[in-house]
Each structure stands twice: as C-alpha cells, then as structure tokens.
Structure 1
C-alpha cells in the first residue's frame, strides 16, 4: 500500500507546484501567500510518503486530498484535479491493502510449504 500511496503523493507534489504557478497569474493573493500554502502542501506530500506506515498517515492523506479539492476555489482546474487525485488516493489505499493481504497470504503459504518440506526431508522414507 505504501508504494502506491507514495506514488500518488509524489504526483500531487508536482501538481501542487504547477498549481502554485497558475495561481500566481489567476489569483489576487500575494505570491508569498500562494507559495507558503503551496510549499506547506508540497512538504506535506513528501512527509506523508514517510509517514504512511504509521498510524494516522492515511488519514492525513485524506485531509490533503480534501485540501487539494478545496484549492479549486483559487485555481478552478484544481476541482477536477483534486477529484482525480482523491480517486487515485482511494484506489491506492484500497488496492494497496488488497495487495498487502495477498503478499502476506503468499508468504504464509510459502512458509508453511517450506516447513512441511523440511519435515518430509527429515523423515526417512
């Protein structure tokens, strides 16, 4: 799950940076305000990549998704991009957990097969 979610967050990092550039042209906000907000959001993307394995990491990711959608009030295209990334985030979390469960199941089956193979090899025929 962490790999898929981190990939989504890195994509968002770049989108937020480009949205900051667009906001400078379309918004009445000061450049300092735009880059402070964009910079904090971009930093949060990078920090969340490392925090995904910890409690609350995925929840903070959802908060970031909501903020990305809300940024559409400054740059209207971000409504669309925010929804796209929220869908990607959902898919990353949902399918990532399924992949993690499948990997754990395969590892358990391989371990059981290995243990069964060792016992069979140790038992004389």
Structure 2
C-alpha cells in the first residue's frame, strides 16, 4: 500500500508545483503566497512520499490531500485536479491494502508448505 501511495504523492508534487505559475499568472496570486502555499505542499508531498513506511507520514499525507483540496479553490481548474488526486489516493489505499493482504496470505501459504516439507523429511532420514 505504501508504495502506491508514495507514487501518487510524487506525481501530486509535480502537479502542485506546476500550479504555482498558474496561480501567479492567471489568478494574480502574490508570488510569495503561491510559492509558500503550493511550493510548501509540493515539498511536503515529496518528503511524505519518501517517508511512507512510517505510519505518521501516511496520516500526514491524508492531511495533505485535504489541504490540496481546500487550497484548490484559489486556482481555477485545480479543484478537478485535487479531486482526481484525492480519488487516486483513496484508490491507492484500498488497492494497496488488498495487495498487502494477498501477499500476507501467500507468505503464510509458503511458510506452511515449507513447514510441511520439513515435517515429511525428518532430520537424520535419507531421501533419494
């Protein structure tokens, strides 16, 4: 799950970064404000992408999704992009959890099969 979420965050960081010149040129947002708000979110997305192995970073990324959604009202067209990335995030979490469950079941089956194989051939017995 964490890998999928990290990928979504990296692409989201790129899109958020590209929102800065749009906010400045088309919406007339002060460059310091645009750089601070969306630049900060882009950097946070990159940092959180690298830290997705930690539980707190995963929850912080949920907060980042909400922040992007709320600030997207300041730029025309950004709301649609925020909804798309929010949807990708939710889908990534759901599908990632399913993949993690399948991997755990597969690992348990492999471990059980390995245990059965060890029980069949007892130590000291000869196999041909």
Is the structural similarity TM-score above 0.5?
yes
What stretches of structure 1 move > 3 A for 4+ residues in a row? none
What per-residue deviation string (whole Å, max 9, x for no partner) do you get for residues 71-119 of structure 1? 2222121110100100000011111011111101111110110111111
* Secondary structure in structure 2 of the residue aligned to 1:53: coil
TM-score (structure 1 length as normaliser): 0.91
CA drift of 1:29 comes to 2.3
Across the aligned residues of Structure 1 and Structure 2, the Cα RMSD in angstroms comes to 1.6
Superposition pairs of residues 76-91 of structure 1, within 5 angstroms:
76-91=76-91
Does the 8 A contact of 2:6 with 2:49 survive in 1? yes
* Secondary structure in structure 2 of the residue aligned to 1:56: helix
**Residue in structure 2 matched with residue 37 of structure 1 by the alignment:** 37
* Secondary structure in structure 1 of the residue aligned to 2:55: coil
**Residue in structure 1 matched with residue 99 of structure 2 by the alignment:** 99
- Alpha-carbon distance between aligned partners in 1 of 2:55 and 2:13, rounded to the nearest angstrom: 22
1:61 aligned onto 2:61? yes
TM-score (structure 2 length as normaliser): 0.89
**Residue in structure 2 matched with residue 17 of structure 1 by the alignment:** 17
Structure 2 gap segments, 5+ residues each: none
Structure 1 gap segments, 5+ residues each: none
Larger radius of gyration: 2
CA drift of 1:58 comes to 2.5
Count of aligned pairs between the two proteins: 125
CA drift of 1:43 comes to 1.2
Deviates more, 1:108-117 or 1:52-61: 52-61
